[in-house]
């Protein structure tokens, strides 16, 4: 499967992924609004079920983890080069 491309939150004509957030170094890729550094859009619609998805953020590979928590799909995205960020997203039971 081709990786999903992730873009800044204000990118027109892209799909919003509600309740799925950029994490760690992935939050620093763009200069976005201070109160929304972890929001993004993608070139495909948000998944409708739990999954792990390979993504690209500005030509940098990333991993999106999507889980059902509290009866709602939510998730985190971290760059594959960000060891600490990946450790955090791989423990969905600790997400707030």
E strand segments, the chain: 4-8, 15-16, 20-22, 40-42, 51-57, 60-69, 72-79
Domain ranges of the chain: 4-94
Quote the DSSP letter at residue 85. Answer: H
Global pTM value: 0.90
- Asked whether residue 35 carries a pLDDT value surpassing 60, the answer given is no
Q: What is the pLDDT of residue 32?
A: 62
The predicted-structure confidence for 37-87, as pLDDT tens digits, reads as follows 788 999 999 999 999 999 999 999 999 999 998 889 999 999 999 999 999
Mean per-residue pLDDT for 16-39?
A: 82
Of the CA atoms within 13 Å of residue 64, those in its CB half-sphere come to 29
- What integer pLDDT is reported at residue 12 of this predicted model? 81
């Amino acid at each position: 499967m081709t990786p999903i491309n992730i873009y800044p939150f204000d990118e027109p004509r892209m799909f919003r992924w509600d309740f799925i957030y950029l994490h760690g170094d992935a939050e620093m890729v763009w200069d976005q609004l201070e109160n929304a550094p972890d929001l993004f859009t993608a070139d495909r619609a948000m998944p409708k079920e739990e999954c792990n998805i390979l993504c690209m953020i500005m030509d940098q590979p990333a991993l999106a983890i999507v889980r059902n928590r509290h009866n709602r799909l939510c998730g985190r995205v971290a760059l594959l080069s960000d060891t600490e960020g990946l450790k955090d997203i791989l423990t969905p039971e600790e997400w707030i």
